[in-house]
Amino acid sequence: MRRGLILSVFLVLAGCRHTGAYVWVDRYDGKPLAPSYVVGPGDTVTVKVLGHDEMSAHAKVRSDGRIAVPYLNDVEVANQTPDDVAEKLRKKLVDFVNRPIVTVTVDEPRPFTVPVTGEVTRPGVYPLDTPAGVLQALASAGGLTQFAHDDQIYVLRRGPDGVPVRIRFKYESLAHAEGASGTFALQRDDIVVVE
């Protein structure tokens, strides 16, 4: 799982370096995406089947993206919203219950992590408190190296159309919380890159 994440980070980086296109954070008009939460390994979820406690479950999503649900055994739940998981379970439970009403809630979300790579002291994937900004991610990675360009700090983010966007920052603006740099919040699946 982690090896796959690291590979995808490098593929994204390789693709972005060739384009060279970016937008300064103060000109970035992308509103923070507020997508529905997507269930993933490490989340703790509760499945409730109205009127059927024996079919309900409270489980941690395993690394294979599945949870055990009574009567259904292992069910794939990763990369789906809680509502999508509930609908999937509802369809599977019709064999056991007439018109089941199923709800799925995320009781304990997995840690919020952000990959930080490039010219930082300790590249890696770091857990951060939310909301977190770029400066917190850089601090977690030990700060910039002596070879870093302090005006070439980027956040790679998938735009609403699925196309990656490179958002550029200056270290000085981040350190002084100037302009949009001071209020920019990282999201799940963002990658911080220092060149």
> 33-76, pLDDT tens digit by residue?
555 788 999 999 999 999 999 999 999 999 999 999 999 999 99
- Please report, in tens digits, the pLDDT of each residue of the chain (195 residues total): 444 444 444 444 444 444 468 999 998 887 655 557 889 999 999 999 999 999 999 999 999 999 999 999 999 999 999 999 999 999 999 999 999 999 999 999 998 999 999 999 999 999 998 889 999 999 999 999 999 999 999 999 987 777 889 999 999 999 999 999 989 999 888 999 999
Report the number of distinct structural domains present in the chain. Answer: 2
**Contacts for 162 with CB less than 8 Å, ≥ 6 apart:** none
Does 177 reside within a domain?
A: yes
Q: Are residues 23 and 60 both part of a single domain? A: no
CB 88 within 8 Å of CB 78: no
Domain limits for position 189:
2-33+111-194
